[in-house]
Amino acid sequence: MKIVFVSGSFNVLHPGHLRLLRFARECGDRLIVAVQSDRLAGNSAHVHEHLRLEGLQSISWVDEAFIFDEPLTSLIARLRPDVVVKGKEHELRFNAELEVLEQYGGTLVFSSGETIFSSLNLIRNEFQVMDFNSISLPNDYLVRHQISSARLADLLRQFSGLKLCVVGDLIIDEYITCEPLGMSQEDPTIVVTPIDATRFVGGAGIVAAHAAGLGASVQFISVTGNDAARDFALSGLAKAGVDAHLLVDESRPTTLKQRYRSKGKSLLRVSHLHQGAISASIQARLLSLVEQALANADLLVFSDFNYGCLPQPVVDQVIGMAKDRGVLLAADSQSSSQVGDIGRFKGMDLLTPTEHEARISTRNREDGLVVLAEQLRQQADAQNVLLKLGEEGLLIHAGNGKQAEWLTDRVDALNSAAKDVAGAGDSLLIASAMAMACGGTIWEAACLGSLAAAVQVGRVGNTPLKTEELLRELS
């Protein structure tokens, strides 16, 4: 391991320090930063040494930081780093470290870092910070259906008593943050340099993690490759409180989707996947796991991305098992860059397609939304359809108009400042299905699902929902 060493007083961390630290970290495998004690720094120590140390420890490029109170040359002789980095302004001055480094073969490098600067800590805030001020409840809708915030909050609290089984395609989502360098002179191509990569459990995995975050007991069943992405998924799902059963298919990789982003915008998506159906032997093992999970389940959720985990024979048998046990059924089948058919999930209590997915399934390119939703409902023999309309919100289509005061209604998109819409559908699916499993009406379920989606799109990347986040909005 190549050790890099930087020292200084670091009174107030500023972009110059961060450029230097970023450059130093790129010079080796491990960056150690030594902070001068108050005694050594003397009059230049405007901030207490422990506060200066704390600031360095919060920088993601720094692997280790400590306070030193001995001559710098003695410290370097003891640590023997491979590289010592100093600012460019020191290059033409006397550097006492050089003699010590020459004794054991170390290197002294001068650089103040590149002028292009990005703090990973600021970048990573994009994946953590949530602005709840951009979310508003659909008050007119609540009045129409005589729904109170207290009723929705009560439903949310009941989620903790649910037992779920989620079946579908596991995906690992990787967000690669890039710094733009400019336009290539050879061809009209944008040139970027990657700065950081952040991974999330996605696909059906995040649906399961959302359910666990909202308090339910969750069993998740899927198929993966035998690779590092599988290990990441197992760790992430365990941390989220999900009981995961991931069958290994040696013929495929764990599905990995990479998004290259810069300045908060996606530049390119790259998918590493295999779309063929799982083998008959793996299908049999998957069905056995589902049968065990359904023994005491209240809700089964299909989260289908059409990557081969749910061949039609498996879907049909799982539906039969669930109906025999009186388990509520919900399904989503995504067709964005891939081709799927939400209509193949027959007899669902809840379907949550996009308008595009509904039109693909019904082969209906002309009719209005209400006719489209009813055609899909009849074709799939579904009870309820939540038609996702992106920034236009949600169309709710209830199955039995004779028993429902409202056959069709809509909810506007509840977040006016969405950061990343990729996880909206997963949040809507699980929150609305769980509301129905707790005895909520389709109108209450649609509202809670929309609220869950609003919370999720307010941050970048798939982070499991928490009950407290939704309750905060309802209060």
Instruction: Give the fold, CATH level 3, of 122-474.
Output: UDP-N-acetylmuramoyl-L-alanine:D-glutamate ligase (3.40.1190)
Ranges in the chain annotated CATH 3.40.50.620 = 3-117
pLDDT at residue 462 tops 90: no
pLDDT at residue 427 tops 90: yes
pLDDT tens digit sequence for 10-38: 877 776 788 889 899 999 999 999 999 99
pLDDT (0 to 100) of residue 22: 86
Q: Which residues pair with 85 in a beta bridge?
A: 109
pLDDT tens digit sequence for 335-362: 765 678 999 999 999 999 999 999 999 9
Given a contact cutoff of 8 angstroms between Cβ atoms, the answer to whether 109 and 48 are in contact is no
Report how far apart, in Å, the C-alpha atoms of 35 and of each of 53, 109, 248 are: 6, 19, 48
pLDDT tens digit sequence for 378-394: 999 999 999 998 888 89
pLDDT (0 to 100) of residue 156: 96
In the chain, how long is the greatest CA-to-CA distance? 90
**Among the listed ranges 60-74, 120-134, 200-214, which one has the minimum average pLDDT value?**
120-134
Q: How sure is the predictor about 128, in pLDDT bands with cuts at 50, 70 and 90?
A: low
pLDDT (0 to 100) of residue 464: 92
Task: Find where tokens 């539906």 sit.
Answer: 319
pLDDT tens digit sequence for 181-230: 777 777 778 888 888 888 999 999 999 999 999 999 999 999 999 999 99
Please state the pTM of the whole predicted model: 0.73
For the segment 141-161, the average pLDDT, to the nearest whole number, is 95
For the segment 308-316, the average pLDDT, to the nearest whole number, is 95
pLDDT (0 to 100) of residue 103: 95
pLDDT at residue 410 tops 50: yes
More confident residue, 12 or 468: 468
Ranges in the chain annotated CATH 3.40.1190.20 = 122-474
Tokens encoding 177:
């943050």
pLDDT (0 to 100) of residue 295: 94
Report how far apart, in Å, the C-alpha atoms of 299 and of each of 208, 287, 308, 437 are: 12, 16, 22, 6
For the segment 408-433, the average pLDDT, to the nearest whole number, is 88
Tokens encoding 372:
């489209």
Tokens encoding 124:
């990573």
pLDDT at residue 403 tops 80: no
pLDDT (0 to 100) of residue 348: 97
Of all residues in the chain, the percent with pLDDT exceeding 70 is 93
Q: Are strands 384-388 and 394-398 parallel, antiparallel or unpaired?
A: antiparallel
pLDDT tens digit sequence for 282-291: 999 999 999 9
Q: How sure is the predictor about 114, in pLDDT bands with cuts at 50, 70 and 90?
A: low
Q: How sure is the predictor about 265, in pLDDT bands with cuts at 50, 70 and 90?
A: confident
Cβ neighbours of residue 21 under 8 Å, at least 6 residues apart?
6, 31, 33, 59, 61, 62, 113
For the segment 256-267, the average pLDDT, to the nearest whole number, is 85
Q: Which residues pair with 256 in a beta bridge?
A: 172, 272
More confident residue, 250 or 132: 250
CATH class, range 3-117:
alpha beta
pLDDT (0 to 100) of residue 358: 93
pLDDT at residue 45 tops 80: no
pLDDT (0 to 100) of residue 116: 45
C-alpha 442/C-alpha 435 separation (Å) is: 8
pLDDT (0 to 100) of residue 263: 79
